[in-house]
Amino acid sequence: MKKILSLIIIFILGFLTSMICQGKLFFSKKYNIPQTSFKKINNEHYNMFKLLDEFYNHCKDHWKTEEKLFEEGRQKIPDSHVNVDILWEEHNNEHKKFIKRIEVMKEDIIKHIEKYDRPHFHFANML
């Protein structure tokens, strides 16, 4: 019984390893990245999305810091100070536009993969 179980486990591990090497089982489900038959390119696409997510998160964290500092400063503004609500709204809208550009960049990368990488790298051997 142990030998059969060991053989089944070895078979499953071999099968999964084979699928990963062929790029058919790739850990990019989080991003829904279209896969090519070229493992190196798939990995690089995954890394690009991972870096964009890190960049996105750093930007969000930075802007939270700005918001916190703005609120602290707002509490100290004397009554005679010019109203900064409109300026802050413009500033905050720029953050939203920037975040949207990161999201669009990810969409554009997926379009590029679908239109160019998948058809152009269908022949590639897996590395």
First-last CA distance in the chain: 36
Tokens 């010019």 belong to which residue? 82
User: How many domains, in total, are found in the chain?
Assistant: 1
Among residues of the chain, what percentage have pLDDT more than 70? 73
Q: Is residue 22 part of a domain?
A: yes
User: Which has the closest alpha carbon to 126: 13, 47, 40?
Assistant: 40
| In-domain check, residue 127 | no
Whether 125 is covered by a domain: the verdict is: no
When pLDDT is cut at 50, 70 and 90, the band that residue 15 belongs to is low
Q: Judge whether 6 lies within some domain.
A: yes
Whether 126 is in a domain gets the answer no
Name, in order, each residue with C-beta under 8 angstroms of 26's C-beta and a sequence gap of 6 or more.
20, 35, 39, 42, 46
Phi, psi of 118, deg, nearest 5? -60, -50
In a domain, 95, yes or no: yes
Q: Tell me the residue range of the domain where 8 lies.
A: 2-120
The pLDDT of residue 33 is 87
Give tens-digit pLDDT for 61-84. Answer: 999 999 999 999 999 999 899 999
